[in-house]
Amino acid sequence: MDIQIKWKILVWTLLLNASQTMNAQVGVRAMSKNMNDKFLISKHSLKTVTLPSGVRLEYAEQGSASGVPVIFLHGYTDSWLSFNQVLPLLPASVHAYAVSLRGHGSSDRPKNGYNPEDFALDIADLISELQIGPAIIVGHSMGATVAQRFALDYPYMTRALVLVASFASFKSNPGISELQSLINKIEDPINAGFVHEFQKSTTFRSLKPGILQTYVHESLKVPAYVWKAVAQGSFMVDYSTELKEVHVPALIIWGDKDSFCPEGDQYILSKAIKKSTLLKYIDIGHAVQWEAPERFAKDILQFIDKVKIDE
């Protein structure tokens, strides 16, 4: 589906009347609560850490303490649960941390601090607080933008990068200004129909029953001011020139049915980052790890092995 058509669908759902909005929210939340029990991972530990800034972050941790530290960063309005299908596929040799960024999931929601630099600083503080050491940073969509900024600001903490459904520049993307205009109009309580269409629009393949509802439920936790602040802080950045300073290995993953991130952006990223490899997933949309978790986990593991061999 064309990106402009998707934005029109989102606008339509945003204009649903108040009673429809409330009923939809109750219905989606009820379904998601039941489904969360099914899709939570048994071998992870759900924890929190309070950063020097006072912001408390929620994160899921699993794997051996001696394993390779890998930090997973989710996309816009998602949470650590964005990787709930991937974590069970990782061996104990991967010491995985799936983080809910500030404003998202059950992490704290301060009134400000939603630029990529702020998110990157939070991850640097988390690494310091948990004494993780240099880590492989895996970022999806907005999380990939944060991962780019993190690698630029904290190269000594960055062991390698995985950029999934990543933007090289928001400025040249024709749908971003329309999405920005739409987000500026949203108010609390967030319309559940709008959130459902937003999350559904990131996928090409149908998800297993209940999984999409789980992700919708997580997005409904995010208040309107966070939706707006993140958009204002992220939707104008362009790190493509700076990325030439990134010297760690990078894996770039992109689905060829991604209507949000252009294919051209992937080549810009791969050209800018010298030690990068680009993987194209056929018939996969923007939500790569939701639609193809098995292949995604396999490719991540192969990349980790290569990073270890090349060090």
Q: If 0-12 CB within 10 Å is exposed, 13-18 middle and 19+ buried, where does residue 281 land?
A: buried
Residue 21 covered by a domain? no
Number of domains making up the chain? 1
Q: Cis peptide leading into 155, omega within 30 of 0?
A: no
Q: What is the CATH number of the domain that holds 246?
A: 3.40.50.1820
pLDDT at 1 exceeding the cut of 60 = no
Residues with Cβ within 8 Å of residue 99, at least 6 apart in sequence: 57, 58, 59, 71, 72, 73, 74, 80, 107, 123, 126
Kindly state the DSSP code that residue 91 receives in the 8-state scheme.
-
CB 16 within 8 A of CB 185: no
Kindly state the DSSP code that residue 238 receives in the 8-state scheme.
B
Q: What is the mean pLDDT of residues 62-86?
A: 97
83-113 pLDDT, tens digit per residue, is 999 999 999 999 999 999 999 999 999 999 9
CB 117 within 8 A of CB 144: no
In this predicted model, which residue has the larger pLDDT, 176 or 207? 207
Provide the whole-model pTM. 0.90
159-180 pLDDT, tens digit per residue, is 999 999 999 998 777 777 778 8
**pLDDT band at residue 2 under the 50/70/90 scheme:** low
Q: Which H or E run includes 98?
A: strand 94-100
**pLDDT band at residue 203 under the 50/70/90 scheme:** very high
Domain holding 48, by residue range, is: 3-14+41-310
Residue 29 covered by a domain? no
